[in-house]
């Protein structure tokens, strides 16, 4: 009898826990966050109705591209990647590029962790500086989205960021005055600023060296210049702090006539691209070991 009683109690507790967990799974989005997303949609140009599910009568956690926390109902992901021009040649209406303006209402998504606006068409407008107020962001992908002008230094406030991708198709589209703000991204693991004009960021190497968590660095065709700042000279002593770095792409820059010695100390590297840098002389033997 005692065993039967214990089993009944266990079964009752299990049912209560199941009902409780079901409630959390069905958490609905916050009204303020739904309104923020509707205001965001209002400023976008969406000729093929990619965001047609974004209507007031539907829970925003069920909208396409929106992911909410099962526990709290807060919007934690906004995944609005556009079509890849190398794959979607025929313009799939389901993933046609968004354009228009970026509403400040996104600031109200205070729990947002992932923001992907890549491969859209925001030509002629700068990256919004208020993105730097989205302090919960872990992932920010604006690659190939057509943004132009200065990369806002406010992005340096995103201390929880793990991935920052700002790749652009043309060097003239995005540029920076300096990269000092990057030092604020102390947890960054993946950095992609391909073809962003970094010609005035004379201390780029020293700044990036303050982020030991980096696993991948992609800085091809960024007009990086080591020659003018003595960093490309064979006599320059630089102690790289990239113990976790596995991928390094510095192709298409101005790194000098000799491969910088500090690169040879990156023992965790699995992929290294230094092509199109006008290096001279034989390859160091260490590259073959």
Q: Which two tokens stand for residue 147?
A: 């943004």
CB 62 within 8 A of CB 106: no
pLDDT bracket for residue 13 (50, 70, 90): very low
pLDDT bracket for residue 284 (50, 70, 90): low
Q: Find the mean pLDDT for residues 33-44.
A: 98
Q: Which two tokens stand for residue 78?
A: 């906004």
pLDDT bracket for residue 7 (50, 70, 90): very low
Q: What percent of the chain has pLDDT over 90?
A: 67
Q: Find the mean pLDDT for residues 174-200.
A: 97
What pLDDT is attached to residue 8?
52
**CATH of span 41-288:** 3.80.10.10
Mean pLDDT computed over every residue of the chain: 86
pTM value surpassing 0.75: yes
Q: Say how many C-beta atoms besides its own lie within 10 A of residue 179's C-beta.
A: 22
What pLDDT is attached to residue 253?
94
CB 154 within 8 A of CB 130: yes
For residues 231 and 184, the model is more confident at 184
Domain boundaries, the chain: 41-288
For residues 36 and 254, the model is more confident at 36
pLDDT bracket for residue 289 (50, 70, 90): low
Q: Say how many C-beta atoms besides its own lie within 10 A of residue 74's C-beta.
A: 18
Q: What is the pLDDT of residues 84-118, one digit of tens each?
A: 766 655 445 456 899 999 999 999 999 999 999 99
For residues 170 and 126, the model is more confident at 126
What pLDDT is attached to residue 258?
79
What pLDDT is attached to residue 24?
43
Q: Is the pLDDT of residue 208 over 80?
A: yes
Q: What is the pLDDT of residues 147-172, one digit of tens each?
A: 999 999 999 999 999 999 999 988 88
């Amino acid at each position: 009898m005692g065993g039967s009683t214990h089993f009944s109690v266990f079964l009752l507790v299990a049912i209560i826990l199941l009902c409780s967990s079901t409630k959390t799974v069905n958490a609905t989005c916050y009204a303020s966050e739904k309104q923020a997303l509707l205001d965001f949609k209002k400023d976008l140009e969406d000729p093929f109705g990619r965001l047609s599910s974004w209507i007031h009568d539907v829970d925003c956690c069920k909208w396409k591209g929106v992911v909410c926390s099962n526990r709290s109902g807060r919007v934690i992901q906004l995944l609005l990647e556009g079509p890849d021009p190398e794959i979607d040649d025929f313009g799939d209406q389901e993933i046609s590029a968004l354009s228009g303006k970026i509403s400040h209402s996104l600031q109200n998504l205070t729990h947002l962790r992932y923001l992907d606006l890549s491969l859209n068409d925001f030509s002629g407008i700068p990256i919004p500086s208020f993105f730097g107020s989205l302090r919960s962001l872990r992932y920010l992908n604006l690659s190939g989205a057509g943004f132009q002008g200065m990369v806002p230094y406010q992005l340096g406030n995103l201390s929880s960021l793990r991935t920052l991708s700002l790749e652009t198709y043309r060097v003239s589209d995005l540029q920076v005055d300096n990269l000092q703000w990057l030092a604020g991204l102390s947890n960054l693991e993946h950095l992609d600023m391909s073809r962003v004009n970094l010609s005035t960021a004379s201390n780029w190497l020293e700044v990036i060296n303050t982020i030991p968590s980096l696993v991948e660095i992609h800085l091809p065709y960024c007009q990086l210049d080591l020659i003018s700042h003595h960093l490309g000279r064979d006599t320059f002593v630089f102690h790289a702090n990239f113990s976790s770095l596995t991928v390094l792409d510095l192709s298409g820059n101005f790194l000098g006539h000799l491969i910088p010695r500090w690169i040879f100390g990156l023992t965790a590297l699995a992929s290294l691209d230094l092509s199109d840098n006008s290096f001279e002389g034989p390859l160091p033997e260490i590259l073959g070991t």
